[in-house]
Structure 1
Amino acid sequence: MNYDRTAKQQQNYVNQYRRRMIQQDLITPAGNGQVRFKLPLFKEYLDDTQDINSVRYDPLL
């Protein structure tokens, strides 16, 4: 398995969604590899969707 290629593909995937979220005014760049959420409580919502004990948990996100 070519790990360099896999890492590059993953980075491209992340950058694509980061760019879309910036265009949709959901986040703003905040330094190298950092973002700020513009919607109130958006960070908390995303955290909840990843918390297995939350009613908002969605394993597909």
Structure 2
Amino acid sequence: MLACAEGRANARVADDLGVSRETVRKWRARFLTDRLESLADRQRPGPPRRITDERVEALVARTLG
């Protein structure tokens, strides 16, 4: 969103970030509709996560430490 706010075109943002233009269009549209709330992760189909953020953080710390 910061690159978009600087006036960069969707194609350039997509190229810079290594994502599709459609992905940039989707996130820009979400942001225009719901502002900052749209940037939060949305619920996804399937069962809820069984691993907590704390466990993920501990594993990453152990791996990097």
TM bucket (normalised to shorter chain) is under 0.3
| Pair member with larger Rg | 2
Higher normalized contact order (CA 8 Å, seq sep 6+, divided by chain length): 2
TM-score (norm 1): 0.26
Bigger strand fraction: 1
